[in-house]
Structure 1
Amino acid sequence: MGQSYRTVFDLTGQPELIQPAYWFIAIFLCAGIIFAGLAWMAVRENWHSRRSLPFFAAAWIIFCTFMVVVDFRDAAAIRNAVEAGKFRTVEGCLDYFRPGAPNGSKTTSGNEEWSIQGLVFSYGEGEVRPAFHSVSTAGGEVRADARVRVSFVVSPAYRRREIVKLELAPHACPMARNVKMYERP
């Protein structure tokens, strides 16, 4: 079948764009600085009702530092795999399709999800990740009747399939089984 694919997302030619979400990390580090300042004031001013604040600030900073290291290493591993050409590509019609919530959600139940050759791809509009995450209800182009060619790397830290290249042939397949938003396939 000589399907005409259109590339809608491609990081394989520009792996240097695969970076941690610096702005997202900055939000948590700023909160850590604020907590540290409040903890310092609590100790200095002898706030008896806020004795646990220094412990909370320390735990926050330790946790955030750990997560920053995890995110940096994960993005670097994905980038290195793409640079080395160690990504997997599958193509075909979708087994099922569940549209994602247009504004993201607090859980993964609002993620867009589809399967091709038994491999499940799940991503959400509000997610912070180094690869494709644009859902159909917010302008993304994957649809239930599209033939898809997807290249991906499995994230070493989060064990999810990160889409590094996405090509589509619209209306080239029968409609995949449609799963309603927030329901399990």
Structure 2
Amino acid sequence: MLTLRSSPASPFGRKIKIAAAVLGLTDRITVVATDTTDPQDSIRRENPLGKIPTLILEDGTTLFDSRVIAEYLDMLAGGGIIIPAGMARFPQLRLQALADGIGDAALLQVYETRFREEEHRNAAWVENQAGKAARGLAALEAAPPAFDDKPRIGEIALACTLGYLDLRFDGSWRSGHPALVAWLDAFAAKVPAFEATRFKG
């Protein structure tokens, strides 16, 4: 069995769980809850960065981050399924990078309020992160990606990022992005793993 170190609310861990479901690999992966803030958690030995998601292979080798893990799972399933071959690969990798970048900016905003005392928070820095997310969402609203019944890595990453914005920012992105709302609704209808992996805590 493969072991996925993750946490239920992580958009990047969710990306790997959905990718595994799309690839038919869910039954080959055990998900182990991880606390990246706990110095005693073994994640710091399994991944020197102490970050999730981290995938532990049967021989003890570890893979990280989510982009590398997605590549491995696609290869394990036969290749070219969620990460196309040839030139079709690059639009998907670009979309994944944009979605992950929005997710990173959102996470950093959350961390600023969660881990830094209010008097030490940097409003300009938070605004800079919010600007990254806003520009990324605007670009995607102008041209939402198309996908077939079986999504690829870029669409999976985008759905997970939008889900994270729903979770941590009360869906405030929705009012200004109707095309993305419709896109996410269509994704959720076609990909049961999206609802199955939603954090309900």
Instruction: Answer yes or no: same fold by TM over 0.5.
Output: no
Point out the structure with the larger helix share.
2
User: Given the two structures, how large is their TM-score scaled by the length of structure 1?
Assistant: 0.26
Rg larger for: 1
Higher strand share: 1
TM-score using structure 2 length: 0.25
